[in-house]
Structure 1
Amino acid sequence: MVLRSLLITLTLLGSFSVYAEEDFTHYAFANYLGSGIYKTSGQNATVVNIPISFELYSNDTESLTLRTPISLGFFNFKWSDLPEADLPSSVGTMTITPGLEYRTRTSENHEFQTYLDLGYGNNFTSGTNVAIYSAGVSSLLDLELRQSDPVWVNRLFFAGYASFDGTQSETYSALQSGIDIGTNIHWRWDWLGVDVEPRVFAAGYWYFDKLRFATPFGEDVLVSNSLEVGATLAFSKPILWDWMGIDRLGLSVRTGDGVKVWRLIFEFPI
């Protein structure tokens, strides 16, 4: 039961999907939409993201980071298999989306961020390949509210893919706004050598084009906006390995237009 509970929290219960002969979206956009269970060509696919990053340059006001997240997908994997320890035996899809992220602090309480990604995705089952691209800009403003250190975040971003055979392509873009608030409760996690603070957040998402949301448990729906709320543990420095970039660990729920999604968080949540 412990193993089953752990792996269930490692996935969402849905994701955006394009209505087509083959659904590329479940893995082409995995790095931007999050880990999850996706429906594609009559199969269920479980996708897990591995965040990887390397700092190239940093000073008191600026930083440049190379991000190389990897997403792995497993076909026809059911949670009912877990009590018998039938874990996924092969990888069905893989994407890698390397990109550069630039951050600059424009004032004592404001930071501007921008990124550009260009990546590749492969479906080992069908033998198809896609080129993936994404870009975005963000504004992070530190607010003052007692000892809670709120951060107000606004982001504008888009992502797209194109199959190598030229038959399919898709893009999506969104405006995101949210706030992350601390609890001013701190403790030391000696095992990992970090200080920990629980934080809560809420964020809204507005999609410029309605997107088809496919779940393996019901009818597809079109989503134009969603609201997400959740809680995380914020670490004073990345845990495990610096290149993994895991500085948060938490859980959230996102709802909108009749869809409910659970998400496990490994980084700043909004």
Structure 2
Amino acid sequence: MALNKFPFIILSSISLSSPIQATEEDFSHYAFANYLGSGLYRTSGQNATVVNLPLSFNLQQSDTDSLTLRTPISLGFFNFKWDDLPGGDFPSSVGTVTLTPGIEYRTRTAEDHEFQTYFDLGYGKNLNSGANVAIMSAGVSSLLDLNVKQNTPVWVNRLFFAGYKSFDGAQSETYSAIQSGIDIGTDIHWRWDWLGVDVEPRVFAAGYWYFDKLRFVTPFNDDVLVSHSVEFGATLAFSKPILWEWMGIDRLGLSVRSGDGIQVWRLIFEFPI
């Protein structure tokens, strides 16, 4: 399937340990929303737009270590598209709600290296159907600052897993991958006084290798099984989180991810890889 079959699709991906039957409800678009990103999904004949609110609170912090309580909330809106926004159309009701609280620990093992690990245990609900799912995710990461002072590149390697199980035990799925990428600065800086932050444009590239084939579910075309993908994008990096610090929005950007005949666009509100 050629890449130009999907000219523009906001991130709409899920992964399966086994195929989903057409009569079964698709939980993945909201169960994995915190790990796949905000986007437009398809489920049971409806489009579902999912928006993530990346809430977090520092529990403990020192010069080398930090412990953070993450409480991201994901809201899903059925039959609402991003292109409705310019016309002033807003979603009338929430269709899905997902809360995935967890603990993230970071430690700087050297001046140029940071190790991260997290564990989440959460809950998702489809308000239309009344279905409920339990969600679990864990992962480890290595972030290495490369010795290029002007562009401050960061090399990132991650190993992570996410899974869910419906409360009735009828459905369960997994999403796991190895990820490697690099985030590079442009050494262009300016001040946004109205936001009270310094801004730098940055670019990044990343590769993903999935343990189970990832099934990209698109709103308008056939599903595509993907074993690997690559992603390229650009972000604006802020010197501190904008709006409210507890929301953790320290990046704003856009990227494209492709692999095995799929092309997906992603909105970015945090560190991209």
Shorter-chain TM-score tier: over 0.9
Verify: 1:148 aligned to 2:146, yes or no. Answer: no
1:190 maps to 193
The letter for the 1-side match of 2:180 is S
The letter for the 2-side match of 1:231 is A
TM-score, normalised by the number of residues in structure 2? 0.92
* Contact 1:177/1:205 (<8 A) preserved: yes
Match of 1:226 among 226, 229, 237: 229
* Contact 1:17/1:214 (<8 A) preserved: no
1:268 maps to 271
Task: Please report the RMSD computed on the Cα atoms of aligned residues, expressed in angstroms.
Answer: 1.5
**Per-residue deviation, 1:144:** 1.2
TM-score, normalised by the number of residues in structure 1? 0.93
Query: Which residues of 2 match residues 102-113 of structure 1 at below 5 A?
Result: 102-113=105-116
Identity of aligned residues (%): 80
Match of 2:10 among 9, 12, 27: 12
Verify: 1:128 aligned to 2:126, yes or no. Answer: no
1:5 maps to none
Q: For structure 1, which runs of at least 5 residues remain unmatched after alignment?
A: 1-8
Q: For structure 2, which runs of at least 5 residues remain unmatched after alignment?
A: 1-7
2:50 maps to 47
**Per-residue deviation, 1:85:** 3.2
Match of 1:157 among 139, 156, 160: 160
Q: What SS does structure 2 have at the residue aligned with 1:32?
A: helix
* Contact 2:165/2:172 (<8 A) preserved: yes
How many residue pairs are counted as aligned between the two chains?
261
Match of 2:202 among 191, 199, 202: 199
**Per-residue deviation, 1:94:** 0.5
Q: Deviations over 1:140-168 (max 9, x none)?
A: 00001241010000000000000001111
Q: What SS does structure 2 have at the residue aligned with 1:171?
A: strand
Higher RCO, 1 vs 2 (CA within 8 Å, ≥6 residues apart): 2
1:22 maps to 25
1:257 maps to 260
Alpha-carbon distance change, 210 to 193 in structure 1, aligned in 2, over 3 angstroms:
same
The letter for the 1-side match of 2:45 is G
**Per-residue deviation, 1:212:** 1.7
**Per-residue deviation, 1:211:** 2.0
* Contact 1:17/1:26 (<8 A) preserved: no
